Amino acid sequence: MNEVKSTIDKRDGVSNSDFKIGILGGGQLGKMLGLAAANWDVKIWMLDKSKSFPGGNTCSHFVEGDFKNYDDVYNFGQQVDVLTIEIEHVNTDALLQLEKEGKTIHPSPSKLNIIKDKGLQKQFYYEHKLPTSPFRLFSGKEEILDAIEANKLRFPFVQKSRLAGYDGKGVAVIRSENDLSKILAAPSVLEPLVDIDKELAVVVARNERGEVQAFPPVEMEFHPTANLVEFLICPAQISDEISQKAIDVSMKVMETFGVCGLLAVELFLTKSGEILINEVAPRPHNSGHHTIDSCYTSQFQQHLRAIMNLPLGSTKMKTPSVMVNILGADNHTGHAYYDGLSEAMNIEGANLHLYGKELTKPFRKMGHATIVADSLEKAKSNARKLKEKLRVISL
């Protein structure tokens, strides 16, 4: 184990002002990790293509480079004490080498290799008897078409590209012969269409001391066309029993992976009351953004605590909340302008988090707002108001 980590363990606190946390990725998640770290005496280093990205403002040192490139990751990793990610699709070969040389890396690169491939992720659940929908792996479009032709594959099914899919971009729902043109030409996982009652998420944290903590389950409501979360409701409107089941499954997934840091577990609650794992992300996640404003500890602070092997913070909820992703308006591409910002800020309990992306595009995540209120009903109606008032456009 490296020297700095043992320094932290001995002092049992973040009291080493030379301590450097390296983050691969300088997007909004990096930015919010940087904001959380700014309260402590630690240095945040980031690696991404441009310092003008959201994270550029909230780190002590920004290295311009490519987190998919071996040398860039290796060289960056050598200069920091603990290395973490804000995106899965980084060069894990470089991370494996750094780990061999004694660098502390969370999540561990071998687990990251499993998680970033949706096929390996599904196999992991299957091998460890963790609840998930049945699945089959296909090498590409041809093999899928052949299976349909030979009556070995039934409609409807969901196809997910094994690598590099996010925000629904690598997902196709194939309901009938009419959808064949939508089949993705990529190695993929095929699953039957799950009869979803609600989509839930539980963000879990684990440190090297073996402490595990889960945030309260949240419920996601999706935008009907963009396939992005539109409202994130906390607490999820489910029974205590289902809530506990969701937490139990998520803690079990975390303990089975055994990673340190955060693990966001996306779940399906089926119409028959089953909890199935959809997928996980070993990093801060969109489904935990509300924690900044509505929980005792934010997911970002929790990730930092976990990767530095500090005690985990309380995940208790302070207030009900609804989180809204602020997306680029349809038909607007160009320099971002926040239309209706003052009106949005006038809404009681609205906490705006604008990521500082210079350019807006249709449905690009430009920020989020967490609306807190005494009741979920109030938070929801204010969230709807905010969505009506605030638009990210280009002039």
**Binding footprint of ligand ADP on the chain (CB under 6 A):** 133, 158, 160, 165-171, 191, 193-194, 196, 199, 222, 266, 278-279
Q: Least Å distance between CB 88 and ligand ADP?
A: 10
Which of 52, 49, 45 has its CA nearest to residue 21?
45
In the complex, residue closest to ligand ADP by CB: 194
Give the ranges where 258-309 is alpha helix by DSSP (H).
291-294, 299-307
User: Which residue type, as a one-letter code, is found at position 267?
Assistant: L
Calculate ∠ Cα 95-98-102, nearest 5°. Answer: 135
Nearest residue (CB) to ligand ADP, 265 versus 373: 265
Calculate ∠ Cα 212-213-217, nearest 5°. Answer: 135
**Tokens 């770290």 sit on residue:** 37
Which of 290, 289, 363, 278 has its CA nearest to residue 326?
363
Q: Are 124 and 107 in contact (CB under 8 A)?
A: no
Q: Least Å distance between CB 157 and ligand ADP?
A: 8
Q: Least Å distance between CB 186 and ligand ADP?
A: 13
Q: Least Å distance between CB 220 and ligand ADP?
A: 7
Instruction: Supply φ then ψ for residue 92, to 5 degrees.
Output: -80, -20
Nearest residue (CB) to ligand ADP, 169 versus 335: 169
Nearest residue (CB) to ligand ADP, 78 versus 222: 222
**Tokens 């290799």 sit on residue:** 113
DSSP structure class, residue 173: E
Q: For the chain, how far is it from start to end, CA to CA, in angstroms?
A: 53
The residues pairing with 221 across neighbouring beta strands, listed in sequence order, are 231
CA distance 48 to 62: 8
Q: Are 22 and 83 in contact (CB under 8 A)?
A: yes
DSSP structure class, residue 57: G
Nearest residue (CB) to ligand ADP, 126 versus 222: 222
Q: Least Å distance between CB 315 and ligand ADP?
A: 23
Nearest residue (CB) to ligand ADP, 201 versus 295: 201
Which of 258, 264, 261 has its CA nearest to residue 304?
261
Q: Least Å distance between CB 120 and ligand ADP?
A: 14
Q: Least Å distance between CB 295 and ligand ADP?
A: 23
Which helix (H) or strand (E) segment holds residue 110: the answer is helix 109-115
**Tokens 């099914």 sit on residue:** 157
Nearest residue (CB) to ligand ADP, 193 versus 359: 193
Q: Least Å distance between CB 210 and ligand ADP?
A: 29
Cα 74 to Cα 79, 155, 189, distances in angstroms: 9, 45, 31
Q: Least Å distance between CB 393 and ligand ADP?
A: 26
Nearest residue (CB) to ligand ADP, 130 versus 171: 171
Nearest residue (CB) to ligand ADP, 163 versus 317: 163
Nearest residue (CB) to ligand ADP, 121 versus 351: 121
